[in-house]
Amino acid sequence: MGRLVLLMAVAGMLTGGAAAAVAETVRTSPVAWEVRGVEGEPLDDPDRAESGPEDREELILTLYQQGPAQVAERRSVGLQRGDQELRLFGVPGSLQADTLMVLGEGSPRIARTRLRQGQLTPERLLAAHTGREITLVRDADDGGTVERAVQVLAVDGDRAVVQGDTGIETLVPGSPWRPVFRELPPSLPATPALDLMLTTELPGRQRLDFSYLADGLDWQVGYVMTVSADTQVMGLDAWATLRNRTGTPFRAADVRLVAGASADAMARPERLASRALDDQMSDAEAVADQHRFRLQSPVTLEPDDEQQVRFLGAEEVPLTREYRMRGGIGFGRQGRGSFQPVTAHLTFVNDEPALGQPLPGGRVRVYQLDSDGEPVLAGEDRLRPTPSGEEAEITIGAAFDLTAERRQTRFRRLDERTEEQGWEIRLRNAGEVDREVTVVETLPGDWTMLEESADHTRPEAGVARWTLDVPAGGEATLNFTAEIRR
């Protein structure tokens, strides 16, 4: 009896609450098939079978923020024992055939695959009938039609050379005769199809599991932060945008969203297949470091579809606002003074009770509530992937009422490797509310602070940090002198 590899383990379910998703490390492992009888049934063509979307029993889409998607489906297919061709309809033209794996009850073995794009056009249809007989039809004067049979000898674009009872003639655009075809040739399906040459040990209708990677399916997450008027708390809403650019519909799919490593960084499905089909390697386990989320309800993605699914909703998340001016000091004498922007930053901790789940990276739009409770767009940024318990920071842009001017006030070279520099930073507040501004300066080499008008902290080796209170309608000045050694 064959063995089935579960390609996509069940992850947490998304809801609309704060704890909207449960993340897991993705694992892939084989399990045994449930033993059951195989239904024998006669087939119309013993050498060839076809399967369409109507044969699906399960469909799983695992979408990544970058890279191809992983598609896994289970179909019930009627097969003969031995070698035969199986044509799969309902697959995307972007299917990466070299990633295909097939497992099933009859221990199917794939000898050859061929992806047909299904680019059906009048020219291709006519060319596919070269050497075959077709019917030409034209309208008759009495309102009926006139038909005659011809053989297609050659085709060049939308022109053809045909042979009928009266001899050889050409079929050109504008001719009153139009070709009629009884059926599509096997080599030219109307939609993308995957042809498989396979061997199975069991006859009759049986379950087959297919897995492959395909381009054109992905997802992104977008966040909306609604900041309270006093900037003490916020609401955080997230929407997952699912996109289908494959041209193929995927209906009633169990959708999993992966944040972290892209599909290209995972163990490739074909490698998992080679292990699973080898009894000695059937217990091998593949592990990929990523977080995966499972949507609660089945999703239908039509061709060119783009739809939003609620991913997260949290209220009363504690928030901190910081105004920051950042500067950098180099070696040597500096030029004239310069004006620097003072930027506004929002920070929060991704922990319970409001949050506490891994937050995938995505664009954040920030709205600030005014005194009347109306939201005003304050800016936007990108949220980096934030694990549970980590701090996240959003930069919403320059503060309009706050300005900073910095200039070098002293320079003295002590020796070839050491110099002394003095700096003045003047902060102005044109607003009606007192502000606290953090000044961050990066200093090169090995440095020592000699003098300063306010105490600094040293969060990193090359960084000095000060905090100044800037009164409404007033200003504050920071002066410091540092010795810098190369």
Bigger pLDDT: 151 vs 34: 151
For residue 83, the tally of other CB atoms under 10 A from its CB is 12
Residue 235, in any domain of the structure: no
Residue 376, in any domain of the structure: no
Bigger pLDDT: 189 vs 264: 189
Range of the domain at 270: 3-117+193-219+242-307
Query: Is 211 in the same domain as 102?
Result: yes
Query: Is 339 in the same domain as 272?
Result: no
pLDDT band for position 76 (50/70/90)? very high
Bigger pLDDT: 196 vs 337: 196
Query: Is 331 in the same domain as 424?
Result: yes
Whether the per-residue pLDDT at 242 is higher than 70: the answer is yes
Q: Provide the mean pLDDT of the chain.
A: 83
Share of the chain above pLDDT 90, in %: 64
Query: What per-residue string of b and e applies to 243-259 under the rule 16 or more CB within 10 Å gives b?
Result: bbbbebebeebbbbbbb
Question: pLDDT tens digits, residue range 351-401?
Answer: 999 898 889 999 999 999 998 889 999 999 999 999 989 999 999 999 999
* Per-residue model confidence (pLDDT) at position 467: 96
For residue 93, the tally of other CB atoms under 10 A from its CB is 19
* Per-residue model confidence (pLDDT) at position 28: 30
Q: How many angstroms separate the CA atoms of 86 and 78, rounded? A: 10
Can you tell me the mean pLDDT for 129-149?
91
pLDDT band for position 31 (50/70/90)? very low
Q: Do 454 and 468 meet the contact criterion of CB atoms below 8 Å apart?
A: yes
Question: pLDDT tens digits, residue range 423-447?
Answer: 999 999 999 999 999 999 999 999 9
Query: Is 140 in the same domain as 256?
Result: no
Final residue before a domain boundary, out of 252, 275, 307:
307
Query: Is 461 in the same domain as 403?
Result: yes
Query: Is 278 in the same domain as 330?
Result: no
Query: Is 104 in the same domain as 127?
Result: no
Residue 437, in any domain of the structure: yes
Residue 236, in any domain of the structure: no
Q: Which domain CATH number covers 163?
A: 2.30.30
Query: Is 204 in the same domain as 94?
Result: yes
Query: Is 19 in the same domain as 98?
Result: yes
pLDDT band for position 262 (50/70/90)? low
Q: How many angstroms separate the CA atoms of 148 and 167, rounded? A: 13
Residue 374, in any domain of the structure: no
Closest CA to 427 of 355, 373, 385, 479: 479
The separation between the first and the last C-alpha atoms of the chain, rounded to the nearest angstrom, is 72
Q: Please, which residues have CB within 8 angstroms of residue 94's CB and are 6 or more apart in sequence? A: 68, 214, 215, 216, 246
- Full-model pTM: 0.71
pLDDT band for position 46 (50/70/90)? low
Query: Is 111 in the same domain as 40?
Result: yes
Phi, psi dihedrals of residue 131, rounded to the nearest 5°: 85, 0
The total domain count for the chain is 3
Whether the per-residue pLDDT at 29 is higher than 60: the answer is no
Query: Is 8 in the same domain as 38?
Result: yes
Residue 384, in any domain of the structure: no
Residue 215, in any domain of the structure: yes
Q: How many angstroms separate the CA atoms of 392 and 347, rounded? A: 6
Whether the per-residue pLDDT at 44 is higher than 80: the answer is no
pLDDT band for position 183 (50/70/90)? confident
Residue 362, in any domain of the structure: no
Q: Which domain CATH number covers 422?
A: 2.60.40
Whether the per-residue pLDDT at 77 is higher than 80: the answer is yes
pLDDT band for position 62 (50/70/90)? very high
CA separation (Å) from 355 to 169, 315, 361, 365? 76, 9, 15, 18
Query: Is 258 in the same domain as 167?
Result: no
* Per-residue model confidence (pLDDT) at position 42: 39
